[in-house]
Chains A and B, each alone.
Chain A
Amino acid sequence: MARVFPKSLLGQSLLAIAVTLLIGQAVSGLLLYRAAQDRRDAATVNAAAFHLLRMVNRETDSPRDIRRALRRAEPEGRIDIGRGRGERRRGLPPRLSGMIADASPLLPGERCAAGEEAQLREILARQGVAAETLVVTIRPVAQDTLLASLADEFPRFRARWRDGLSEREVMVAALRMPGESRWIVARALRPPVEAGVLWLIAAQTVLLFLVLLAATYLVLRRITRPLARLTERVESFARTHEAREPLPERGPEDVSRLIAAHNLLESRIAALLNEKDVMLGAIGHDLKTPLAALRVRIESVTDETQRTRMAETIEDLRRSLDDILSLARIGRAKDPPEATQLAALVESVVEEFEDMDRPVAIAHTDRIVAPVQVTWLRRALRNLIENALRYGGTAQVSLTREGSAAVIAVEDEGPGIPPEDMAAMLEPFRRGEASRNRGTGGAGLGLTLTRAILAEHGGELRLANRTQGGLRAEMRLPLS
């Protein structure tokens, strides 16, 4: 189904044109066909009227003549059944066209064709013939008992029958004059359908479609080609954030203006990103150097408690600065992801905390290899463990495989997060408590950074309160 309906601008336009054209041609074809049909019907009615009048006029010569004529017209044995080729167009021989019959030729169950009867009655009336009873019907030749029995009986007629007569339709009209008991029966073959008209319409449709298709294709290609190039460019820019040579402004004005606008936008964004990098580099340098100087200077403070506190403050500043710089830098990491043993990664991070005598435990680790940026992922996990320790006191880390995802979970036994605050927790500078008190550490960028790192890996961060209390933070990484 998806393949049947085209998705591209070019495909959809061509489909729309094709459908419209088809409907238009179908309507005009139908009208032409109807007109041809009407002509055919009128011709048939006229032929039937002609034969009826011929017989009526003969009959009215004299009663004797009529009887003779009627007897002569008895079909048995003496009927000229005509001959020759071109069966599709020929009519019936005169004796079959008009004859006298004892009964109505209407077959049992056959209905009278009302429209044709009215036409016929009108024609007869105009010629001064008032019919007492007039029946008209159109039937396939094959169902006409008289013609069928003649075909059985006479070899020559059989030949006509086989040549195509049996596939045609015949109008049978029967007239009973006032005071008469016998019927004058006229038979007129309907002219065959003019198939040529239909062929003409079909050929016309195809030709029109081909011409339109070619024209539309040429016009649309002028639009879709630069559009496709633009799409490609936007996609690659979204991925790399790197400005390249501006795209040539091609295509109709609408499209070329769009391209020009994109070129402008791209160069602006790239300039902004570059400025940001330069600025962050400057911030890093300009703030870290005096911070380093400060760190060296406090070594001369003799009061050890004071010195330790100063060192801690400087360390906090450094970490906040690092978080801010990292958050700004992420997505522009230069090192490609490497296939990494996640269990070893989790262990190595947990061991860092063990070395600092922090209560971090490993619950379970599956052996899973996934392409990751090791430095970043370590950092993401470190942030989660630090959060767990800060708010929950302890941290339990596990690594499991869930379907096509590797799940690194950090669980604590703290108060968890109120459900209504859950979404807000991922915003920058958000902390689990109202104060931004240094005693609890960090600038509140930890979760934001972790989430950004996971997004960079195509994964996600999930937070949930555990039923037994405490928070469970999950880093979900897709495994290809």
Chain B
Amino acid sequence: MTMAAHAADTAVTILLVDDERTLREPLVDYLVGQGFVVLEADSAASARSILREKKADLALVDIMMPGEDGLSLTRHLIETQNLPTILLTAMGEATDRIVGLEIGADDYVTKPFEPRELVARIRSVLRRAGRTAAGDEGEDAHYLFEGWRLDPLKQRLTDPDGAVIPISTAEFRMLRAFLDHPRAVLDRDRLLDMVQGREAHLFDRAVDNQVSRLRRKIEDDSKQPHFIQTVRGGGYRFAADVTRVPG
């Protein structure tokens, strides 16, 4: 099993695009140490020329580069090759993240990052890329349920009055799992599996804890839940109809 996973990883080729050699060098070492094959480019132009000859499974792109910037390159990579992309940036503003995700980047990492987290995100993006390759039903479409709206891109939840309900990434993932499977019973293992992302450590805590937090935010009375109902011995079920509209 571990051998198989390792073997799968060795097949993964990452294109790293960053103009800073000081970062590129140790990062290449680290990623290679983690079992990836890494292609290096110090500019958007050299990234384009490398991709003409070789194939990559995922691109790590620094946004701020002299010449053509990372956003423009990312747009090109997604449009021409449908290449999963993670953006690297020194800025930490939410708007930058949204711009990056809006042009189609799969994730966004702020410098300085924890190398392990970067790897976790690379794996998560690759996993999702494999899953959604078949039937992409519009990742950006908003979820609607009884006046509530969830914008998956901005991870933004609004109540029927239009007020923003701030939720954590973990809560967002759990809610999204429920909204993807309305009226279906989801047991704890399945929920855990679906929401497990980079914050895997969060889920050392019981799924129940996350559910009760989510309930506090969207239920009128979390003791008498209307949306997220407990199924005896089974898990949880989202008890409302969900529609999706383009964002």
Question: Among residues 252 to 305 in chain A, which have CB atoms less than 8 Å away from a CB atom of chain B?
Answer: 281, 284-285, 288-297, 299-300
- Binary flags per residue of A307-319, CB closer than 8 Å to B gives 1, else 0: 0000100100010
Give bound CA distance, A88 to B112, whole Å: 105
Give min CB distance, A457 to chain B, whole Å.
14
Give min CB distance, A444 to chain B, whole Å.
20
Interface residue stretch chosen among A336-344, A431-439, A470-478: A336-344
- In the complex the two chains form, is A345's CB within 8 Å of B94's CB? no
From the candidates B94, B112, B164, name the one contacting A288 in the complex (CB within 8 A): B112
Given the known A-B contacts A295-B112, A334-B95, are A344 and B166 also in contact in the complex, defined by CB atoms under 8 Å? Answer: yes
Give bound CA distance, A334 to B93, whole Å: 10
Residue among A335, A344, A347, A348 with the highest chain B CB neighbour number at 10 A: A344
Given the known A-B contacts A293-B22, A347-B217, A355-B202, are A318 and B112 also in contact in the complex, defined by CB atoms under 8 Å? Answer: yes
From the candidates A294, A351, A369, name the one contacting B161 in the complex (CB within 8 A): A369
Residues in B with CB closer than 8 Å to A295 are: 112-115
- In the complex the two chains form, is B95's CB within 8 Å of A339's CB? no
Residues in B with CB closer than 8 Å to A293 are: 20, 22-23, 25-27
Task: Indicate if A378 sits at the interface (CB-CB under 8 A).
Answer: yes
Q: How many residues of A contact B (CB 8 A)?
A: 38
Task: Indicate if B48 sits at the interface (CB-CB under 8 A).
Answer: no
Residue among A322, A348, A374 with the highest chain B CB neighbour number at 10 A: A348
Task: Indicate if B90 sits at the interface (CB-CB under 8 A).
Answer: yes
Task: Indicate if A352 sits at the interface (CB-CB under 8 A).
Answer: yes
From the candidates A292, A339, A347, A351, name the one contacting B23 in the complex (CB within 8 A): A292
Residues in A with CB closer than 8 Å to B171 are: 348
From the candidates B25, B95, B115, B165, name the one contacting A341 in the complex (CB within 8 A): B165
Give bound CA distance, A57 to B161, whole Å: 109
- In the complex the two chains form, is A291's CB within 8 Å of B112's CB? yes
- In the complex the two chains form, is B202's CB within 8 Å of A369's CB? no
Residues in B with CB closer than 8 Å to A351 are: 168, 213
Give bound CA distance, A339 to B156, whole Å: 12
- Binary flags per residue of B125-156, CB closer than 8 Å to A gives 1, else 0: 00000000000000000000000000000000
Give bound CA distance, A285 to B116, whole Å: 21
Residues in B with CB closer than 8 Å to A60 are: none
Give bound CA distance, A338 to B162, whole Å: 9
- In the complex the two chains form, is A339's CB within 8 Å of B20's CB? no
Residue of B nearest to A372 (CB): B164
Residue among A293, A334, A347, A369 with the highest chain B CB neighbour number at 10 A: A293
Give min CB distance, B160 to chain A, whole Å.
11
Give bound CA distance, A288 to B62, whole Å: 12
- In the complex the two chains form, is B164's CB within 8 Å of A338's CB? yes
Residues in A with CB closer than 8 Å to B95 are: 334-335
Task: Indicate if A8 sits at the interface (CB-CB under 8 A).
Answer: no
Residue of B nearest to A325 (CB): B92
- In the complex the two chains form, is B91's CB within 8 Å of A284's CB? yes
Give min CB distance, B146 to chain A, whole Å.
16
Task: Indicate if A62 sits at the interface (CB-CB under 8 A).
Answer: no
Given the known A-B contacts A344-B217, A347-B217, are A289 and B111 also in contact in the complex, defined by CB atoms under 8 Å? Answer: yes
Can you list 18 A-B contacts with CB-CB less than 8 angstroms, sorted by A residue number? A288-B112, A289-B20, A290-B20, A292-B113, A293-B27, A294-B112, A295-B112, A299-B30, A300-B30, A322-B92, A325-B92, A329-B93, A334-B95, A339-B162, A344-B165, A344-B167, A347-B216, A348-B217
Q: What residues of chain A have their CB less than 8 Å away from a CB belonging to chain B?
A: 281, 284-285, 288-297, 299-300, 311, 314, 318, 322, 325, 329, 334-335, 338-341, 344-345, 347-348, 351-352, 355, 369, 374-375, 378
Known interface pairs A293-B22, A295-B114, A348-B217; 12 further A-B residue pairs with C-beta atoms within 8 A, sorted by A's residue number: A281-B91, A289-B90, A290-B20, A295-B112, A296-B26, A329-B93, A335-B95, A341-B163, A344-B166, A344-B217, A348-B167, A348-B171
